[in-house]
């Protein structure tokens, strides 16, 4: 039987990737540091997934196990595994890289030359390539040629809304939407591509990475930041506000025009994709809090992330970008005392002003016309919501 180690037993790990693996007959062991989740998975070897869409149903994932990610047992499993996946968040990839490197070293010392494929399933462009670079920092030089021969680092694009579970009766229960998409770069596998229902191989990954980033992620974050400004608590509440919905849809159409230019997507099909995503945001069964979506604003304002990257595309192709600019301006109003990035952003904004803060976190020229437009929209939003 194919064996997989999945780093991250959180909601996305259990509700999305872990479920697809287990449903495909793969023996899944979750690696995590949350002792409650580890104990529950070790005792029960199963958990319920509530799938909510036009209808609501519950499916049970079975045949799973868990291991403490800090224990030597994980290294033993890595030495023999066929597949490694992650859903830990981009910042944690650097933390698990050393563990992966140690496990790979043990694998090579035991002369296990069987192909191993590693897939980071994160909201990060080429996240697996980033993970590979981190692993190489910890892997002794004599093993690096073996890694190139036997280990595939497979980049992917993932899309499924997985909010915090509302089932307080079961710590393992997870709630997910019906829609899911997991696209992998088929050119990066070593050996055979595993047969996993719901995993779609492609030789043009970046088209799908940017389609998701520029549509789902862009629309999601602008809904969150405009919704926070308007005093809403959830994405569902915000997107049912006609003014916010219109602005979010327009921003997605601006970023979508970049995709049509860059990758030749069919315009009508992409418009239908936008409408599908707007419907997902409005799913009444998904209680998706704005603070979950809006957190880590510094990362989300990065040059290669969901706000600035599509903006740069509009500048490249001469496409209207008014609503993308408004989404960026709205990000600078986001406040969340429990989020260190939000606190840092507000601190710099208060002491350095908008243009310096904008340039620092986005890489945009503070003296550019686009920075001036963002500043004007920032003041306009401030007056509107004052």
| Domains along the sequence of the chain with CATH | 3-201 (3.40.50.720), 206-385 (1.10.1040.10)
To the question of whether residue 13 is assigned a binding role by annotation, the answer is yes
Helix axes of 72-80 and 90-109: crossing angle, nearest 10 degrees: 70
Terminal-residue alpha carbon distance, the chain: 60
Q: Which residues of 168-192 are buried (b: 16+ CB within 10 A; e: fewer)?
A: eeeebbbbbbbbbbbbbbeebbbee
Q: What is the pLDDT of residue 163?
A: 82
Q: What is the pLDDT of residue 273?
A: 96
Hey, which residues does 50 pair with through a beta bridge? 58, 175
What is the spatial order of strands in the sheet that 174-177 belongs to?
56-62, 46-52, 174-177
Q: What is the pLDDT of residue 164?
A: 80
Q: From CA 49, how far away is CA 17, in angstroms rounded?
A: 12
To the question of whether residue 7 is assigned a binding role by annotation, the answer is yes
To the question of whether residue 8 is assigned a binding role by annotation, the answer is yes
Q: From CA 351, how far away is CA 342, in angstroms rounded?
A: 14
Q: From CA 224, how far away is CA 220, in angstroms rounded?
A: 6
Q: What is the pLDDT of residue 250?
A: 98
Q: What is the DSSP string of 249-297?
A: HHHHHHHHHHHHHHH---HHHHHHHHHHHHHHHT-TT---BHHHHH--H
To the question of whether residue 372 is assigned a binding role by annotation, the answer is no
To the question of whether residue 360 is assigned a binding role by annotation, the answer is no
pLDDT tens, N- to C-terminus, the chain (386 residues): 899 999 999 999 999 999 999 999 999 999 999 999 999 999 999 999 999 988 889 999 999 999 999 999 999 999 999 999 999 998 999 999 999 999 999 999 999 999 999 999 998 889 999 999 999 999 999 999 999 999 999 999 999 988 888 788 999 999 999 999 999 999 999 999 999 999 999 999 999 999 999 999 999 999 999 999 999 999 999 999 999 999 999 999 999 999 999 999 999 999 999 999 999 999 998 889 999 999 999 999 999 999 999 999 999 999 999 999 999 999 999 999 999 999 999 999 999 999 999 999 999 999 999 999 999 999 999 998 87
Nearest partner of 154 among 192, 211, 98, 181, judged by Cα: 192
Answer whether 362's CB lies under 8 Å from 303's CB: yes
To the question of whether residue 313 is assigned a binding role by annotation, the answer is no
Q: What is the pLDDT of residue 167?
A: 80
Q: How far is CA 74 from CA 32, 60, 83, 150, 202, in A?
A: 10, 25, 13, 20, 31
To the question of whether residue 351 is assigned a binding role by annotation, the answer is no
Token code pair at residue 183:
């696209």
Q: How far is CA 312 from CA 249, 306, 356, in A?
A: 18, 11, 19
Q: From CA 79, how far away is CA 195, in angstroms rounded?
A: 22
To the question of whether residue 294 is assigned a binding role by annotation, the answer is no
To the question of whether residue 281 is assigned a binding role by annotation, the answer is no
To the question of whether residue 34 is assigned a binding role by annotation, the answer is no
**pTM score of the predicted model:** 0.85
Q: From CA 157, how far away is CA 181, in angstroms rounded?
A: 8
Q: From CA 181, how far away is CA 217, in angstroms rounded?
A: 13
Answer whether 81's CB lies under 8 Å from 3's CB: yes
Taking phi over 0 as left and psi of -120 to 50 as alpha, with beta for the rest, 186 belongs to alpha
How many separate helices (H) and strands (E) can be counted in the chain?
19, 12
Q: What is the pLDDT of residue 69?
A: 97
Answer whether 85's CB lies under 8 Å from 119's CB: yes
């Amino acid at each position: 039987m194919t064996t997989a180690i999945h780093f991250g037993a959180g909601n996305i790990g259990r509700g999305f990737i872990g479920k697809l693996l287990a449903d495909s007959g793969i023996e899944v062991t979750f690696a995590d540091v949350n002792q409650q989740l580890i104990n529950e998975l070790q005792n029960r070897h199963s958990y319920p997934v509530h799938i909510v869409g036009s209808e609501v149903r519950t499916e049970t994932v079975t045949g799973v196990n868990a291991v403490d990610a800090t224990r030597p047992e994980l290294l033993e499993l890595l030495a023999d595994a066929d597949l490694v996946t992650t859903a830990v968040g981009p910042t944690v990839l650097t933390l698990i890289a050393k563990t992966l490197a140690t496990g790979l070293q043990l694998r090579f010392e035991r002369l296990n030359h069987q192909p191993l494929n590693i897939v980071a399933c994160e909201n990060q462009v080429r996240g697996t390539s980033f993970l590979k670079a981190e692993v190489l920092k910890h892997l002794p030089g004599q093993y690096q040629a073996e890694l190139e021969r036997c280990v595939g680092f497979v980049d992917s694009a993932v899309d499924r809304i997985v909010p915090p579970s509302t089932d307080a009766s079961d710590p393992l229960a997870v709630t997910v939407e019906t829609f899911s998409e997991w696209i992998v770069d088929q050119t990066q596998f070593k050996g055979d591509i595993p047969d996993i229902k719901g995993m779609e191989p492609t030789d043009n990954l970046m088209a799908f990475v940017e389609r998701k980033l520029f549509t789902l992620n862009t629309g999601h974050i602008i809904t969150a930041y405009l919704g926070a400004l308007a005093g809403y608590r959830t994405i569902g509440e915000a997107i049912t506000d006609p003014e916010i919905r219109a602005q979010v849809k327009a921003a997605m159409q601006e970023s979508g025009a970049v995709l049509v230019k860059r990758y030749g997507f069919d315009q009508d099909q992409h418009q239908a994709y936008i409408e599908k995503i707007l419907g997902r945001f409005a799913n009444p069964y998904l209680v998706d809090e704005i603070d979950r979506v809006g957190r880590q604003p510094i990362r989300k304002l990065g040059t290669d992330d969901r706000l600035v990257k599509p903006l740069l595309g509009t500048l490249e192709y001469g496409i209207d970008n008014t609503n993308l600019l408004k989404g960026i301006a709205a990000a600078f109003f986001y406040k969340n005392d429990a989020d260190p990035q939000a606190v840092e952003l507000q601190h710099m904004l208060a002491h350095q002003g908008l243009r310096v803060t904008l340039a620092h976190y986005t890489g945009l020229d503070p003296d550019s016309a686009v920075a001036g437009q963002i500043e004007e929209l920032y003041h306009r939003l401030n007056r509107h919501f004052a």
